[in-house]
Structure 1
Amino acid sequence: MSTMTDEQHNAKAHRKLAVGYARVSTERQGKFGMSLEAQRIAIETFAEKAGYVLLEFYEDVASGRGEKSFHARQGLQNALKHAVCDEAEIIVWRWDRLTRHAGFEKQIRDVLPDEKQIVCVEDASSLDAASRAARHKRSEHVANEISRRTKEEMAKKRAEGAVFGNPEIYSVQPLGVKTWSNTSETLIHKIADVLRHQADPVSLTHKEVAKLLNDRGIRTGHSNDWTASRVRAPRAKAMKLLEQERAKYRMLTPLFGAF
């Protein structure tokens, strides 16, 4: 565990101190996935926006299940000791990164009595702006990483003889593309492209999708601004398009989505 620098000591009187903690469950996630890095990016962004001095970052590649997992995670133990030593808060991306054990609350209170010393980026309520910035930064990283890995896997498959770019891919019956006008089809593809770069497009509300489109200057087929009601039907078609694409990529690239 590192000690505070002079700069960090001087900052203590003006800014809150924190340590970051991230966890993935398996070696495969830690080695081949993006979760640890994505959590780090979110936590660092949150700390910066919320006015924290981030003293150190700790991580574990270990299960969060069961009573013994608390003591088996050296990264978590170090993070707790650091938080107690420097009267700092612990910032995590999500509560389940701390634990999946029902008795965890008692375990952690024995070390860190003040539960307010643990801050969850995803569930933040009093620091909404910082939390939102961190979520967006993580979403951007996740989307970029998925895109990069998908392209790498597709390149490998092409080298093995796989054929992509089937001109009939967007004309299958479930999508009913043949019944759409060229303008409508292009618009659906634009919406799909915006959704494709979101970490979890399914969880977005229609209002949030409308704002994303408006912010990017994408207009409706009648050149109007998007509203929640206007975006409902084309968003559903765009999601079907993405589902079809993902199904094809998943079939050809075994690692796709395993992050």
Structure 2
Amino acid sequence: MQCIGYIRVSTSKQGRSGLGLDAQQEAITRFAGNSGFVISDFYRDVMSGGDDDRPGLNTAIAQAQRRKCPLIVAKLDRLGRDVHFISGLMRHRVQFVVAELGIDVDPFTLHLWAALAEKERQLIADRTRAALQAKRDRGERLGSPDILDVARIGSDRRRTMADEHAAKVLPIIDEVRRAGITTLSGIAEALNARGVRTARGGRWHGSTVRNALRRG
């Protein structure tokens, strides 16, 4: 049976290292092989699990529903750390399997794990706020005094890299258009089918195609 894999890390540092993503992908691949699933594609996000509007997840869910196959994640908190969000997926009959929990886990158990994930997120946020407040109380300076300069340099570098990548991809997009594919989503699918990656190393979506065209 076909399935869709979804992996997520919260920070760009984790995303660049690939360690968290690689470990999740390996866990899903191993679980799928042992459970009779064939992974047709992987989708990923480098975003907080508290953000419900994630491009990779949205595409993964849409593909899973279109193909009438389950979405597989390594751990439930990779899907989300919010009970309401997880319950919403279940209520809308989005098929998903958590490799860590196994294929036969019941909805009640999923709700319990979702509640634990949400509580963990709250505890992490509370500990972070308490640590920052303790630093303030001790009179310590928070963050780098040059943070604005660092942010500006990083932004300029990302913009340059995006422009350079767009220059390389635009000829491929032109070729796809000449083949009769003109919609943003169609171009994105064609780029993904050819193994072309975005500037950040991810998969193409209509929005990323539009951004590349604007840089042309």
Give the shorter-chain TM-score range: 0.3 to 0.5
- TM normalised by structure 1 equals 0.38
TM-score with structure 2 setting the length? 0.45
Larger Rg: 1
Q: Which has the higher contact order (CA 8 A, sep 6+)?
A: 1
